[in-house]
Structure 1
Amino acid sequence: MATYNKGILGAFSGKVGPVVGATWRGKDVMRSLPKKSNRLATAFQQQQRSKFAMATEFLSSVQPVVSRYFGGNTGLKTRRNQAMSYLMKEAIVFNEPNYEWDYTKVLISKGDLLGINNGQVAAGTGQNLEFTWSNNSEQGEAEVTDKLVLVVYEPTSKATVYSLNAGSRSSRSATLELPNFLSGLEVQVWATFVASDDKLAATSLYLGAITVG
């Protein structure tokens, strides 16, 4: 792999002849095409591929949230990459004979802002979910204007519903309306607070599994 300065044609990505252009840790790089191998993947490689596929599928569904609020963009590792690394290490567990999610350890945001206090979710009328929490603004960097961010995930259909501004920290309650096809299904729910200017985020809280009315 080699780095290069932008010439008259500028940087490029993808395959061009025998080389591939890409961006790695904020630098433009070129590398030769990998050689095909007939060797079978080891058990460890197969496990990593399974975990990677699970994490990729989930992250794709919550990309608008993770890309804003998971860690920080340092130029070396994107927010999505940070989330991928965390999920593969902490939230995907082996339960013979397959890997599965430990939803209690899944995070959809990660940061230093004060998180949700006494957060709860309950099934409301129709396909609504009702959220409540305590107002802990003015503690640390928490503000009354911090926005509530919600993520709801249905594992079988892979359906995801999210809100980037479901209410303010001081409002103490919020309602999220879900689509009709989720009626009667069990969903996984997370919530977090982010600053009104999106510059700070809290580490998300798993609120549990709940059956939609």
Structure 2
Amino acid sequence: MALSPYGPHGPVIGKIGNLVSYILNGQVVTRTIGHKSNKHSKNQLANYQSMAVTMELLSPMLPFINSSFEIEARGTVKNQHNLATSYNKKQALTGEYPNIRVDYSKVVLSYGDLAIAENLKMVKTDTGLQISWDTEGGLAHDMVMILVCHPQRAQVSSSINACRRDAGTYFVKLNEEDLEQQLETYICFKSANGKQISNSVYLGNLNGAVENEQEKEEREKYTLVKARFDQVATDYLWMLELDHGRLTSTKAFRVLEKEYNVLKQKLEHMPGKPG
């Protein structure tokens, strides 16, 4: 049932057929609803995985992006998480289904026209990361925002108000274990009055991209299935070449052909593929 609280000529709130309307940030939004098919195309599966990878990336960053995308979200029907999801799903992913993953060098944590500092540097020490920048450009009292992503722990270390731009440096304290793991680091600048923000800048990776336990398990499973497929494929193609109308009519060939097709299909949708 739908309601018309704004009169007969105003927007309808509720469900009509396969449409549902509701108020979002002061505006009426209408979307379709309905039953989803159990069968999905490869493009649909790729889209689902892209969304899942993006959500996994952004989930621990929520407090940071609530601040970094707050300016851009003002006066729109989108919230900060919507914006971060849209940017990173389009720009920060690499690979093809079922091996879609994050390209950390392309992660977007803010968009804006505030000046970015020059000569950005990051140095690893025994107790953390020393990040520095030139203080010229922008305003001295612009605030610095820094985020360090820990992919292996699915966590981040962030400082929304790290220091002022004119400080020229900021130290991120990390424990010994964190300093040995994969680290991905970002910085952006926000005006003191909260009306402007810069583009986020990727400061770089430390310790390389380390394979987590899930990725290791997926790679090992893929390797086993691929090895069996290569063996079956060799026998299958050999029997085709020597057929002359005899071998392909046997039960042994039909069993081999079925396994060949099953394994081939499985590899197409199996994560863990090298590269």
TM-score normalised according to structure 2 size: 0.63
Unaligned segments of structure 2, at least 5 residues: 8-12, 209-275
CA distance in 2, matches of 1:76, 1:88: 19
CA drift at 1:198: 2.1
SS in 2 for 1:167: strand
* Residues 122 and 210 in structure 1, CA contact (< 8 A), matched pair in contact too: no
Which structure's CA Rg is the greater one?
2
Contact 2:46 2:96 in 1 (8 A): no
Identity %: 25
Tell me what 1:201 maps to.
197
Q: Which of 125, 139, 143 in structure 1 is aligned with 2:139?
A: 143
Residue 88 (structure 1) aligns with: 89
CA shift for structure 1 position 51: 0.9
CA distance in 2, matches of 1:97, 1:180: 34
Find out whether 1:54 has 2:48 as its counterpart.
Answer: no
Q: State the alpha-carbon separation in 2 of the partners of residues 193 and 134 from structure 1.
A: 13
Counterpart of 1:10 in structure 2 is: none
Q: Deviations over 1:88-119 (max 9, x none)?
A: 11111115750111111111111110012111
In structure 2, what is the equivalent of residue 153 of structure 1?
A: 149
Deviation of the 1:85 alpha carbon: 1.1
- Tell me which residue corresponds to 1:176: 172
The structure-2 alpha-carbon separation of the partners of 1:194 and 1:36, relative to structure 1 and needing over 3 Å to count, comes to same
Gap change, CA 1:14 and 1:211, over 3 Å in 2:
farther
SS, match of residue 156 in structure 2: strand
4+ residue segments displaced more than 4 Å: 1-4, 18-22, 28-32
* Matched residue, 2:68: 69
Compute the RMSD of aligned alpha carbons.
Answer: 3.1
The 1-side partners of 2:52 and 2:97 are apart by 18
Does structure 1 conserve the Cα–Cα contact (< 8 Å) formed by 2:152 and 2:182? no
**196 and 43 in structure 1: CA distance in 2 versus 1, 3 angstrom threshold:** same
Q: Given the superposition, is the C-alpha separation of residues 44 and 168 from structure 1 closer, same or farther in structure 2, using an over 3 Å criterion?
A: same
Tell me the TM-score normalised to structure 1 length: 0.80
After alignment, is 155-164 or 54-63 more displaced? 54-63
Is residue 135–residue 171 contact of structure 1 (8 Å, CA) maintained in 2? yes
Would you say the 8 A contact 2:148–2:186 is kept in 1?
yes
Match of 1:116 in 2: 117
Deviations 1:24-48 (A, max 9, x none): 463356778x443443111111111
Contact 2:49 2:98 in 1 (8 A): no
**Structure number having the greater strand percentage:** 1
Tell whether the 8 Å contact from 1:131 to 1:173 is kept in structure 2 after alignment. Answer: yes
Relative to structure 1, is the Cα distance of residues 23 and 181 closer, same or farther in structure 2, using a 3 angstrom cutoff? farther
